[in-house]
Structure 1
Amino acid sequence: MERHYCHLHLISDATGETLIAVSRAVAAQYQGVSSLEHIYPLVRTRRQLERVINEIAAAPGMVLFTLVDQELAHRLEEGCKEIGAPCLSVLQPILNLFQSYLGAPATPRPGAQHMLNADYFRRIDALNFTLMHDDGQQSENYEAADVLLIGVSRTSKTPTSIYLANRGVKTANIPFVPDVPLPKSIESLRKPLVVGLLATPDSIVQVRRMRLLSLDADQDSPYVDRHVVADEVAQSRKLFERRGWATIDVTRRSIEETAAAIIDLYNIHRLKFISCS
């Protein structure tokens, strides 16, 4: 399939994370199109904006922005009109909806979503906890976790844990290794949601081979033997069923999708835990 390329200018008075997430979610719906991203964060002065407008003129394309300063927003729209570049405020339709429903205008605060509030420190605390409890570390402290992930090697335990931590969920993870008993502390856990991660043997073998290749290690190893891997997965599945733990098959899931499913399970688990406490 022939690919088409277009320039995409993302202009923000904060970090630009909102724009990046929204634009990539939309761009993913167009298989034959690749956007060349030009990202301009922390644009808060007229001088900075004029530089951005000049760069848009040098590489015309679509323009998305999140500028709460209305004077800057209007100047950008004027500049794009002169250039002939389509321009859209990502936040404005949502701000209009809020204003219509709440009956009050917003108070412009660039980067307000990144303020050092309680939620921010909660996420930092969760990230610190997760890093300290990665790959079976400090198992005696699992009761302090919100979520505990268990799975055979290469079932995305660590990246999923870190993603959850960025959402404020304290996550520990531990590898399942046949014939190696799990820590005794797991048997008495009450607060954490325990989730078993599963994947097809073929997908695990593929990821493991890539891992060995990156390490320049021997590819002729039981670690990537399909029969051995299939037995690992079967044993882990039996354990999860025996303990009554929730399971998620990560074979065709992105980290974000897996994390979303876990958060949904965790919210239900948390309500049950609170009601029983």
Structure 2
Amino acid sequence: MRRLTLFIVSDSIGETADLVAKAAASQFRQGLETVSMKRFSHVEDESQLNEIVYLAKKQEAIIVYTLVKSDMRFRLKEECKNKGIKCIDLMGPIVDLISAELDEHPIEEPGLVRKLDEDYYKKIEAIEFAVKYDDGRDPRGILKADIVLVGVSRTSKTPLSQYLAHKRYKVANVPLVPEVDPPEELFMIEPEKCFGLVISPEKLNFIRKERLIALGLKDDANYAQLDRIKTEIEHFKKVVEKIGCNVIDVTNRAVEETANVILSEISSRNG
């Protein structure tokens, strides 16, 4: 039984070429058993290319490569031609076609697709975190969060958590009510991680009445009473003073504006 060796060459980790080569080999009977693959990752200079071609010549291997830099692709192709080595360029033709269609030169930076994937999965993880630790459901999330939001009901804690999650921050939010002691975890975190959201009693009174009406309820419930709201806000002030965190007035701010205040604060701390 003849055996075939494929050299997988990449200026990143080589996952793409490896998967394509395996998919192709699987189309043949016992293909994955008779085709062996050796991966050469993070190939960045011509001396490495020359060494790989030399080894391929000795082992009668075929070179399959994904190199984003056009000069590296050209050098490898020429070296293979000179040494009589068969090679397959998986990246070049696609990049060249897209470049021509867009009338734009490619960046030619290795590993960009992995960076995009990592960024995507980090965002998804942050969104799932915000859902899991929304509205004080599990106080353990407070200690794991990048940002903790506290405030009375209807101060936009949940939409703000989701907005910040799309910026890849893990956010937990905790509602504060006078009848329930705040979770002790709030006083265990660094105050800089916590942001209190406050709103004028009159604005909150209007928002809560609208909320009750939307739910088909009467708007004169204790939840929307001005005296009740003032009591909640006084309780809020005592808690955030004990935490020592920043307080943001969200009375006339959109969620995006509040988020920008938080992100600017974090950015200034990180220098």
- 1:191, distance to aligned residue in structure 2 (A): 8.6
Q: Could you tell me how far apart the structure 1 residues matched to 2:116 and 2:243 are?
A: 40
Q: Verify the 8 A CA contact 2:192 2:246 in the aligned structure 1.
A: no
* 1:194 partnered with 2:183: no
Q: Please report how far the alpha carbon of residue 140 of structure 1 lies from its aligned counterpart in structure 2 after TM superposition.
A: 1.8
* 1:248 match: secondary structure: strand
Cα distance between partner residues in 2 of 1:139 and 1:243:
15
Matched to 2:175, the amino acid is: P
Q: In angstroms, what is the RMSD of aligned CA positions?
A: 2.8
8 Å CA contact retained: 2:150, 2:175: yes
Q: State the alpha-carbon separation in 1 of the partners of residues 201 and 164 from structure 2.
A: 25
* 1:255 equivalent in alignment to 2:255: yes
The answer on 1:158 being equivalent to 2:158 is yes
Note if contact 2:123-2:168 (Cα within 8 Å) is conserved in structure 1.
Answer: yes
Which position in structure 2 is the counterpart of 1:126? 126
CA distance in 2, matches of 1:72, 1:243: 53
Judge conservation of contact 1:127–1:170 (CA < 8 Å) in 2: yes
What pairs up with 1:13-24 in 2 under 5 angstroms?
A: none
1:121 CA drift (Å): 0.9
Q: Which residue of 1 aligns with 2:167?
A: 167
Please give the alpha-carbon distance, in whole angstroms, between the structure 1 residues aligned to 2:225 and 2:191. Answer: 37
Is 1:240 matched up with 2:240? yes
**In structure 2, the residue corresponding to 1:153 is in which secondary structure?**
coil
The answer to whether the 8 Å contact 2:126/2:166 transfers is yes
Question: What residue in structure 2 maps to residue 141 of structure 1?
Answer: 141
Q: Which amino acid aligns with 2:202?
A: D
- 3-state SS of 1:149 partner: strand
Measure the CA separation in 2 of the matches of 1:212 and 1:146. Answer: 33
Q: Distance in 2 between matches of 1:259 and 1:239?
A: 22
SS at match of 1:117: helix
Letter matched to residue 237 of structure 1:
K
Match of 2:206 in 1: 206
Identity of aligned residues (%): 34
Number of residue-to-residue matches in the alignment: 171
1:268: how far off?
Answer: 4.2
The gaps in structure 1 that reach 5 residues or longer are: 1-67, 74-94, 96-104, 273-277
List alignment gaps of at least 5 residues for structure 2.
1-97
Q: Is the 8 A contact 2:187 2:243 kept in 1?
A: no
1:210 corresponds to which letter in structure 2?
Answer: E
Supply the distance in 2 between the matched residues of 1:242 and 1:142 (Cα, whole angstroms). Answer: 16
The structure number with the bigger radius of gyration is 2
Query: Alpha-carbon deviations, 1:176-235, whole Å to 9, x = none?
Result: 101311111222124971110000011111111111111101222111111211221122
Contact 1:146 1:192 (8 Å CA) reproduced: no
* Per-residue deviation, residues 18-63 of structure 1 (Å, max 9, x unmatched): xxxxxxxxxxxxxxxxxxxxxxxxxxxxxxxxxxxxxxxxxxxxxx
